[in-house]
Amino acid sequence: MKAEKEKKRHVDSGTVVSVLKRIISENGRDHIRGYAFAIGCLIAVALSTAFTAWIMEKVVNEAFANRRADIVWLICGSILAAFVLRGFATYGQAVALSKISNNIVARYQRRLYSHMMTLSVGFFAEARSSHLAAQVSQNISGIRDVMNLTVTSTARDLLTLVALIGVMVSKDWVLSLIVFAVAPPLLYALRYVSRRLRLATRESVEINSRVLGAMQETVQGIAVVKAFTMEQELENKVNKIIVTAEARSNRIARLSERTSPLTETFAGFAISSVLAYAAFRSIYDNVPPGAFFAFVTALLMAYDPARRLAKLQVQMDRAVVNAQMIYALLDLQPAQREKPDAADLAITEAKVELKDVVFSYAAGAPILRGVNLVAEGGKTTALVGPSGAGKSTIINLIPRFYDPAEGQILIDGQDIALVTKSSLRHQLAYVSQQPYMFEGSIRDNIRYGRPDATDAEVEDAAKLAYAHDFIIAQPQGYETPVGENGVTLSGGQRQRLSIARALVRNAPILLLDEATSALDNESEAAVQKALDSAMRGRTVIVIAHRLSTVVNADKIVVMQDGRVVEEGSHEELAQRKQGLYARLNNLQAPEHSQAGTDQL
């Protein structure tokens, strides 16, 4: 057991060093001028502090013991100059390090966001978004803190301490030995505290992310919370997490602040010992007090940098833990890497074909079991079948949100696994069954489909999606903010904006995953007319539960249990009395259609 702990300690120490090297290698060169200026200022602070202690011997001996008035003004002027220099140097290093710190935080925010955009949909499906956001916001400052602690501790605290120790040794080496004799036990105790704090810090970050995540989820689902009177149950759940987080934070506070009694005890013992020794020498050996006062001044001034250095490992461990969690995210490799020789997708007729496709989510049971289907270019292919048949999975595989475990997906004969994802997705327009609105105006949300679209093109797409009328009825028309995830809009309005976003993209392949599911009968009829017009000349793969959406499709593919069980037109499939489509079609007979039964 002891051997395992010792091994873990060495591994952790090695990790701290490796993280420190990585942070310095990634940021040091880009900010070398700023750090050089800050280090120069910190050196000035260290030397001016040491000079103030060193000159105390002259002050006491020449001004008070020898009473030399001619040298008093020179001494006082030099002390004033040292303090002025230290003030400006402190200001300079603080501003320089703040600018560098802000740049580092901004850089890693951009880098994290850019990296997360390369990760697969599967990663975000498994990671809870609220926890991910909380983890990033809490930990990104760790990299900045590592750099700041390294620079300030080395250039200011360590140099100041070395300079003051030099003053102490030059004034009285015996007193210096007394001070140094009690240092080793202090350093050992601080190392022990640091090791225990490292684990507690990691646990604290994870627990705090759960607190923020739980609160964010409650805010996002507040309507459901209140509708189902879940307030008390969720409050109890969150309270348990908060109590755990509070206990962990209190533990970190206790561990962090244990350095205070350790360093204070060390300082008290050292200073009292020095005073006793110096007093007896002055009383019995008649030694001039100047050197003693200079030594004590240096000792007192050395207390602050020594205290900060004593806490350095504790602070550094906390910062490194935060940095590690950021690097753990940055080092995640995209599950769907592009081939080194991946080419751009070339569209001719926009024919989509699945060959023997097998797929399952994570380690679950297969969702698709050897699927073969062809969506002819320029025609509409409808996917129907009971829930869980694998229809939405096919829609998700075509843009490469996921990759099949076996088989191929071809577009115009090109395996999409061998083309760049960017070129693939530029040829697709996608409408999901859960429309999502981003922060910004209505116009901004439609224009996400094609950022270079003109205002006229945005409005034309809105008209095709039958969204124009309700948009101009909004307080600011197309410039109306949609609120968080379109909270100010109805479900049908959000869906029509999502369709407008797909239409403005003007892509040759259109994927509709129950695109009209949130619309009432009147809105659905209007949008269906718009889709009928927009789908001409495009390859359309549509999932729908309502008969009216698929009846005019060029081909209907019926799925069940992850397999294609039937194919054909509506008339052909409806005539197969024993077929699955015919049974589903009968469930939406005219007497049921008015109720909007969703079976297909």
CA angle 416, 417, 420 (to 5 degrees): 75
Over residues 376-403, mean pLDDT: 89
pLDDT over threshold 90, residue 341: no
Range of the domain at 512: 377-389+420-593
Give dist(CA 559, CA 588) in Å, integer.
Answer: 18
CA angle 101, 105, 108 (to 5 degrees): 135
pLDDT higher for 244 or 577? 244
**Encoding tokens for residue 175?**
């007193």
Does residue 415 sit within a domain? no
Same domain, 305 and 443: no
The 10s digit of each residue's pLDDT in 501-533 is 988 988 899 998 877 665 667 767 766 766 776
Whether the CA torsion 377, 378, 379, 381 is positive or negative: it is positive
563-568 and 555-560 strand pairing: antiparallel
Per the CB < 8 A criterion, the answer to whether 145 and 319 are in contact is yes
Per the CB < 8 A criterion, the answer to whether 376 and 554 are in contact is yes
Residue positions counted in the chain = 600
At residue 195 the predicted structure's pLDDT band, cuts being 50, 70 and 90, is: low
Does residue 145 sit within a domain? yes
Give dist(CA 261, CA 269) in Å, integer.
Answer: 12
pLDDT over threshold 60, residue 256: yes
Same domain, 50 and 121: yes
Query: Exposed/middle/buried for 320, CB within 10 Å: 0-12, 13-18, 19+?
Result: buried
Does residue 495 sit within a domain? yes
pLDDT over threshold 50, residue 342: yes
DSSP state of 287: -
Does residue 268 sit within a domain? yes
Give dist(CA 525, CA 261) in Å, integer.
Answer: 76
Three-class secondary structure assignment of 438-480: CCCEHHHHHHCCCCCCCHHHHHHHHHHCCCHHHHHCCCCHHHC
Q: Which long-range contacts (CB under 8 A, 24 or more apart) does 422-425 make?
A: 423/343, 423/344, 423/345, 424/345, 424/399, 424/400, 425/399, 425/400
pTM of the model: 0.70
Mean of per-residue pLDDT scores for the chain: 79
Q: List CB contacts of 130: < 8 A, sequence separation 6 or more.
A: 212, 213, 214, 216, 217
Does residue 401 sit within a domain? no
Domain count, the chain: 2
Give dist(CA 272, CA 259) in Å, integer.
Answer: 20
CB atoms within 10 A of CB 268: 10
Same domain, 170 and 27: yes
CATH code where residue 150 lies:
1.20.1560.10
Would you state the pLDDT for residue 3? 42
Query: Which of 263, 296, 330 corresponds to the end of one domain?
Result: 330
At residue 356 the predicted structure's pLDDT band, cuts being 50, 70 and 90, is: very high
pLDDT over threshold 80, residue 62: no
Does residue 336 sit within a domain? no
Which helix (H) or strand (E) segment holds residue 101: the answer is helix 69-118
pLDDT higher for 591 or 539? 539
Would you state the pLDDT for residue 479? 93
